Structure 1
């Protein structure tokens, strides 16, 4: 527990907040004692004042009025100012003990209403005291300036103390507000991160499970179609089906392993995230399901970031999966166009999307297109998907490319030269 003055002040304020009436009663009793003692003081060499019940009643009324300082601070200040002026008219010496009640009223007026209002009341009270002293105190004319300065000093002192209290309370309130805001911000950030993580997990599982299950279903259907007419091709398709399911299990295991070890280094057994380098494998798998995929490239190939490479592969994978499940076409085309700052990926099929006849079709509702759009926007890319004017369906994606470096350009040139040779 803190024993510093600041610690005592904090504990007193907390106690005052919990028991305001008790604190007010104690302060009023102390101020009444000060007024009683102050009414018996006189100047050096002068006869003591003839104390009667009038001054005690007046000062008692001033002190009792302080009980209402929280609800009526202006009225309490006016009552105390009138009482102290009346005591001055009775020719009592205005010592700090007699001024204590009006000083307390000024302090509370400052804390409740602000410095500007309290300054007006303080100046008005000081002027009234100087006028009463000039009229009723024969000794005031001998030293008006020191007496006036004394009145102003004692009445302005609670204004300074009240202003400091207001500033301290405002500072504490601002600190508490900032702490509450920071706490709310942390909670909101945690919820946002949890939502983003949940969406990321959902996208990964959807891409892994939906793609391989769709291909497995297509391969099984194709194998059933050729089971009696072409046993050799049926065997090849069933072999590809085994590879598809094995690949699905591996990718699912890899995805779950990455999620399980998200806060620790990933084990060495986990496979790297798929990228465009696995595009030939994806094309081969789609071919075994009866979908012929052609891939064309325009521009000088450049490496993407890890997130961009995974996004590009997953979007192509999902587009081909949708073509396998929903389109009547037996072929699809993937076009990669490398520009200065971005990679344009276009996946198209010629058949009407979502139907087996020539009538126009509406894409089925699902999470595939929504997931592709979210993936593209996550890495700062653009996404567009919809029916083609001449029939079929098209998915167009633009993904940002990292700035080309001299080393990357040199490697790409050497690779192109080697392939040409």
Structure 2
């Protein structure tokens, strides 16, 4: 039964406020009665009860008007002191609550000014009280100290609330910044994937079409064969574009989303380049190792983008790809065949203000903890070198 009553009170804010003020009024009346009990010449009780009731009633507006309520309760307590009531914490309960609320709801400067004024006024009134042989301690210093303590507690709670609000605001700001950063990273990743897929296949299709147009008069049969293979290149572009978009959407349907490409598809890439008129020589040094999916995709995309730049920008029709495996690194090297006298342009160097091939390869290498370097070779041509770490793979293999 008592539990249900308490739940009803907690569910109604007005009931909680009324209950709190009732308890506070009872404590104040107890303080007034205590003064009357210990006095040699008993005081009349009803003035203290009336002043306590007035002070408790004023507390109803303490949340909206803290300073006027503090002034009203202070006047009631000083009137009780002038009537020779002993200002115990019980009797001063309404004033202490008002001072606490003032320190909690107003600025630090306003709160302490009001506390000092109230404490001094109460102490001065107590000096004229003739209740006890030692009025300075019991009627002046003690009430002033309780007022300052209430102000300090209210200020402390206010600071704690402001600190908690600041931490919450900072956490919200950090979450927003993190969300924006993730959105930017995701946009970059999508742009990089689509660039690698679309640029590669369109460059090959463009090279095939150009070769077919060049051979149309001199060798119509070979031109027709190249044109006949052109739909295969565009179909491969559509398939890989669909798979890439599916991966970016995090599609879980295995039937519609092909696995991400890797070095296992390198022979297909070389064959596609050959159809576009680019001869690619692939060599492998060291013992090949199984790569993690992210590292495998990065390796493939770097080789693909470098060969795409050969097709688009280089005069040479040959390129060389070297995969060098060591216990801790995989080094990818793509360069011109220096024996080709027509290799006057770099295989991986885009024309000024065109494309983002080198930037995309550099970002991919950095994303897996690798390094990237691209530049002209002393003996001619252009070279792309990408070093990717294999330590993560070995650690995961040992853990499993």
Instruction: Give the TM-score taking structure 1 as reference length.
Output: 0.68
Task: Tell me, yes or no, if structure 1 residue 289 matches structure 2 residue 272.
Answer: no
Counterpart in the other structure of 1:299: 286
The answer (yes or no) to whether the contact 1:227–1:234 under 8 Å persists in 2 is: yes
Give the drift of 1:315.
0.9
Residue 227 of structure 1: how far off its partner (Å)? 2.3
| Aligned match for 1:399, one of 375, 388, 398 | 388
Structure 1 pair 13–255 and aligned structure 2 pair: CA distance change class (3 A)? farther
Residue number in structure 2 paired with 1:390? 379
Alignment partner of 1:272: what SS? Answer: coil
Name the CA distance, whole Å, in 2 between partners of 1:13 and 1:246.
80
Task: Map 1:152-171; keep pairs closer than 5 Å.
Answer: 152-171=141-160
User: Does 2:263 match 1:276?
Assistant: yes
2:356 equivalent in structure 1: 367
Contact 1:35 1:98 in 2 (8 A): no
> Offset of 1:171 from its aligned partner?
1.7
**Is residue 215–residue 286 contact of structure 1 (8 Å, CA) maintained in 2?**
yes
Partner of 1:32, secondary structure, is helix
Pair 1:35 & 2:78 matched: yes
In 1, distance between residues paired with 2:180 and 2:137? Answer: 64
**2:344 is the counterpart of 1:352:** yes
Aligned equivalents of 1:14 and 1:377: distance in 2?
A: 64
Q: What does the per-residue CA deviation read over 1:75-133, in whole Å, with 9 as the maximum and x for residues that have no partner?
A: xxxxxxxxxxxxxxxxxx8788799989978996898658xx89x969x969x869x95
Task: Name the count of aligned residue pairs.
Answer: 342
Residue 284 of structure 2 aligns to a residue in which SS? strand
Post-superposition shift, 1:211?
0.6
1:339 matched to 2:326: yes
Give the root-mean-square deviation of aligned CA atoms.
4.4
> For residues 297 and 393 of structure 2, what CA distance do their matches in structure 1 show?
19
Structure 1: distance between partners of 2:142 and 2:93:
11
Displacement after TM superposition at 1:228 (Å): 3.0
Secondary structure of the 2:386 match is strand
Secondary structure of the equivalent of 2:255?
coil
For the 8 Å contact 2:87–2:139, the answer to whether it is kept is no
**Distance in 1 of aligned mates of 2:276 and 2:60:** 76
Relative distance call for 1:5 and 1:316 in structure 2 (3 A) is farther
Deviations 1:300-321 (A, max 9, x none): 1111110111111111101000
| Residue 319 in structure 1 maps to residue 324 in structure 2 | no
Distance 2:173 2:395 in 1: 47
2:248 and 2:284 map into 1 onto residues whose CA distance is 34
State the shift of 1:403 in Å: 5.2
CA–CA distance in structure 1, aligned partners of residues 77 and 155 of structure 2: 26
| Contact 1:385/1:396, CA 8 A, preserved across alignment | yes
Per-residue CA deviations over 1:132-155 (Å, capped at 9, x if unaligned) read 95xx88886xx44x8625643322
| 1:207 partnered with 2:196 | yes
Shift of 1:283: 0.7
d(CA) in 1 for partners of 2:61, 2:273: 76
* Aligned match of 1:25: 68
2:219 aligned to 211, 214, 230, which one? 230
Tell me if structure 2 keeps the 8 A contact 1:376–1:383: yes
CA deviation after TM superposition for structure 1 residue 195, in Å: 1.2
Assess if the C-alpha contact under 8 Å between 1:352 and 1:361 holds in 2.
Answer: no
SS of 1:340's partner is coil
Mapped contact 1:35–1:100 kept (Cα < 8 A): no
Normalized against structure 2, the TM-score is what? 0.71
Partner Cα separation in structure 1 for residue 94 and residue 69 of structure 2:
14
Alpha carbons of 1:217 and 1:100: their partners in 2 closer, same or farther (altered >3 Å)?
closer
State the secondary structure of the residue aligned to 2:261: coil
How big is each residue's C-alpha offset from its partner over 1:261-290, in whole Å with a ceiling of 9 and x where there is no partner?
x2x523323211000011111111111111
Partner of residue 198 from structure 1, selected from 187, 202, 211:
187
Q: Give the structure 2 partner of residue 67 of structure 1.
A: none
3-state SS, counterpart of residue 280 of structure 2: strand
Q: Pick from 237, 246, 249 the counterpart of residue 257 of structure 1.
A: 246
Matches within 5 A, 1:136-155: 143-144=133-134, 148=137, 151-155=140-144
Counterpart position of 1:418: none
